[in-house]
Structure 1
């Protein structure tokens, strides 16, 4: 049976515990709600405002890119790229803090085992009785803070937001990596196509040098025509060297994205590339759920919001309960006796009154940082809409331009063929032929670049919409 005196001693701390539990609902911490974002209504600058919520960002990169080599490289890059692996480690860091935040509701428990020996002065109060004193202790202590104002809950939510922000950042790295690998791969295919055209041009100009020399021997052209043809032939060979050098560097760039040492890259051909997916941008609001950087930015805002809650709760009193219990004895063999048992239970409220303005400063800083996070979130969203608008316009422009480039190449090829035939029959000037040849080569290279830009605009649109991480 517990004596009346013991009951009175324990009743007050127990009352504090009951009060603490009762006051758990008295939170000053606010719940986060997404701010009103008028920017989402007109994020895309286009004449055809999308009404369909479907977006090409919902398509997996495995379905968007049909080239088997490219699929292999993207998969390899997602496994081995160093930026991806760094982002994963950052997730592990924030996950550890998240676990710590969740443990904030739990009490702090510690155990102590110690032996104290005290040599006493002979002239001291107890020195005349004891020359030395030994004490043994085996105890445990517990401390718990009641989350009256929601400070612990807000800290937990801030940790959750930081963790989810790192997950979203990892997705953003994946999106960028998929885009970079695809872009570099298609640049290689375009360079291969330009290399093939240039090699054909070198072979044709080698043959034309022989032809022009024969015409000179026949008296139809002079030495200037021969020299000009030789100059064009060497110009094409120099261009060939430049393209090969660019291919070598582009292969190295792709290897770096894949997280491996430099080596030759196996690949398909540009003419066999196509995108089967429909170009759908979805409504602007889908960027809030598809763009990883936008998602990460909002989690940054949530983190700042919850930390503002924490700073606000510091103005209010905190209720802390501490308990200490164990065994103390002057003799080691009596340490675990019932008479060696002791216990202490303390409950207290602490109200900050004056602390050199630290709490107010922390609150003001937290509010300013929350406003900064909100502005960063809005800026990220506006940037996302801007990127979608630009990518969409680029795709439409490159698609329209491709037909004109094809017509240009066809016309210049005919001009080159006709000029060469007229020159052989003495009806044209060799300068016309040289001009037609140079223009035809430039047009063919531009046509290849136009097709590349058309494909890259699809990749840019896919990335801008937030595709690639699913």
Structure 2
């Protein structure tokens, strides 16, 4: 009978909770001003924003570095752990929607004081036992939607953490690709500087011999030596940058600082096609924008949770159990005990406590809204910047390439004129210095053009982030059959070749 009463009370409470109202505003995606097209979009752009674009560079080493980074990078692992944290927070918050059931048992042995003035009948021992077993139920009925709004916010925070992990992956892949391109760029600069040093070293030897023979002045020899030392200083600077870039790339792939394997030359890398898309699609492609929107959803829901504090809090509690002085009688009918209780608490005067919490929630919602709108504007800016960078670095590369060819001719003719006695060595030095700087500039522009593709894919977002996210999950470890005994590495069982054992 009492179980029936408890069941009816719980059913009635459930109807109250389900039929209760939800306070606060329901979330509606804010309207944002979205341009119809990108200012610097190109006609040959392709619908390839969802492809694994880094493979278009056609460098297997870069592909392997990114694969390693997705599995080993610590930031990705931190972001994954944060998702688990918010998953637990969501489950914890949602549990408030359901009754909390607990069980307990207790056993005690006591002796009553015979000197306390309480008579104890003859034949009754002052020592007695007590055993009890209880089942308790407590439930705060969410009549005004406080817990439901808190659960809505927790769910949004969980989704935001998932988008945050995708944003981390997006940044990681882009950072590894940019760092590798910059490393190959520095490698090429080092080659140019090394070749220049060899050429100027030869010039110093020739001028030293000519100076001893009285053919050139000491000033010309000093000028030659100065340019040689300047090129050597450039090598030291580039080597330092290469080591630092290797260290940074090592950390990105989750390794201790060290050397990095090289793949294709910078000039041999492929160029990914330019992705296409409308500005409005950016709101669904970019994980950082989706993360900012979920943060807005969470803050919007917490307004309702704060407003629910104005209204009564209704709680139900129940207890059903047994109590007996003899363990053998603990589960008999006369040993049963039960109780039901309900409570209602209503704030009357809080000196602005609740209204202050509501104002805080509304202000945080506005902060999240403005942050979301700003994130969208910054995303549009990043796409536009990347698009114009792709266009203009390509144009710049063509111009610098023409400059390098012209300076090759200039340096060759200047040296011929000097050898013919028609001009001073100053002209030769000027031509070779200009050629050296132009060659470095050309290599730097090559790297900048490839990096601009990386920046564009990062800014555009796309389905490639989801593919990269799948690659960040380690494959399951192969299971060993239960009936197969472990075999020491290198020791092949009878009739089985050692090669097969190593492969397994």
Q: TM-score surpassing 0.5?
A: yes
Residues 303/452 of structure 1: CA separation in 2 closer, same or farther (3 Å cut): same
* Distance in 1 (alpha carbons) for counterparts of 2:162 and 2:301: 19
Unaligned runs of 5+ in 1: none
Partner of residue 184 from structure 1, selected from 179, 184, 190:
179
Correspondence 1:156-175 to 2 at 5 A: 156-175=151-170
Cα displacement (A) at 1:249? 1.8
Correspondence 1:138-287 to 2 at 5 A: 138-213=133-208, 215-216=210-211, 221-267=216-262, 268-280=264-276, 282-287=277-282
* Distance in 2 (alpha carbons) for counterparts of 1:112 and 1:358: 37
Cα displacement (A) at 1:109? 0.7
Provide the residue aligned with 1:107 in structure 2.
99
Alpha carbon RMSD of aligned pairs, Å? 2.9
* Distance in 1 (alpha carbons) for counterparts of 2:418 and 2:13: 105
Cα displacement (A) at 1:423? 0.9
Residues 127/108 of structure 1: CA separation in 2 closer, same or farther (3 Å cut): farther
Cα displacement (A) at 1:103? 2.7
* Distance in 1 (alpha carbons) for counterparts of 2:238 and 2:204: 23
Correspondence 1:290-329 to 2 at 5 A: 290-329=285-324
Partner of residue 337 from structure 1, selected from 301, 317, 332:
332
Provide the residue aligned with 1:403 in structure 2.
398
The yes-or-no answer on 1:96 pairing with 2:88 is yes
Q: Is the 8 A contact 1:94 1:159 kept in 2?
A: yes
Partner of residue 12 from structure 2, selected from 18, 34, 38:
18
* Distance in 1 (alpha carbons) for counterparts of 2:190 and 2:44: 43
Count of equivalent residues: 460
Residues 330/279 of structure 1: CA separation in 2 closer, same or farther (3 Å cut): closer
Cα displacement (A) at 1:433? 0.4
* Distance in 2 (alpha carbons) for counterparts of 1:25 and 1:115: 43
Residues 127/398 of structure 1: CA separation in 2 closer, same or farther (3 Å cut): farther
Correspondence 1:129-144 to 2 at 5 A: 134-144=129-139
Cα displacement (A) at 1:300? 0.8
Residues 43/356 of structure 1: CA separation in 2 closer, same or farther (3 Å cut): farther
Cα displacement (A) at 1:178? 0.9
Q: Which deviates further from its counterpart, 362-371 or 179-188?
A: 362-371
* Distance in 1 (alpha carbons) for counterparts of 2:360 and 2:110: 50
The yes-or-no answer on 1:447 pairing with 2:448 is no
SS at match of 1:32: coil
1:153-186 deviation digits (Å, cap 9, x = unpaired): 2222211111111111111111111111111111
Residues 32/264 of structure 1: CA separation in 2 closer, same or farther (3 Å cut): same
Provide the residue aligned with 2:498 in structure 1.
none
Q: Is the 8 A contact 1:115 1:134 kept in 2?
A: yes
Tell me the TM-score normalised to structure 1 length: 0.89
Cα displacement (A) at 1:148? 2.2
* Distance in 1 (alpha carbons) for counterparts of 2:10 and 2:347: 19
Q: Is the 8 A contact 1:251 1:265 kept in 2?
A: yes
1:300-323 deviation digits (Å, cap 9, x = unpaired): 111111111211222222332221
Q: Is the 8 A contact 1:391 1:458 kept in 2?
A: yes
Cα displacement (A) at 1:210? 3.5
Residues 55/123 of structure 1: CA separation in 2 closer, same or farther (3 Å cut): farther
Q: Which deviates further from its counterpart, 377-386 or 186-195?
A: 377-386
Provide the residue aligned with 2:78 in structure 1.
86
SS at match of 1:314: helix
Residues 299/49 of structure 1: CA separation in 2 closer, same or farther (3 Å cut): farther
Cα displacement (A) at 1:34? 0.8
Residues 271/47 of structure 1: CA separation in 2 closer, same or farther (3 Å cut): closer
Cα displacement (A) at 1:152? 2.4
Q: Is the 8 A contact 1:143 1:320 kept in 2?
A: yes
1:230-249 deviation digits (Å, cap 9, x = unpaired): 22122212212222222122
Q: Is the 8 A contact 2:37 2:278 kept in 1?
A: no
Q: Is the 8 A contact 1:20 1:319 kept in 2?
A: no
* Distance in 2 (alpha carbons) for counterparts of 1:104 and 1:242: 62
Tell me the TM-score normalised to structure 2 length: 0.83
* Distance in 2 (alpha carbons) for counterparts of 1:300 and 1:201: 55
1:333-388 deviation digits (Å, cap 9, x = unpaired): 32221101122222344333234443322222111111111111112222222222
Cα displacement (A) at 1:214? 5.3
Residues 434/23 of structure 1: CA separation in 2 closer, same or farther (3 Å cut): closer
Q: Which deviates further from its counterpart, 131-140 or 323-332?
A: 131-140
1:377-409 deviation digits (Å, cap 9, x = unpaired): 112222222222222222222111111111111
Q: Which deviates further from its counterpart, 460-469 or 423-432?
A: 460-469
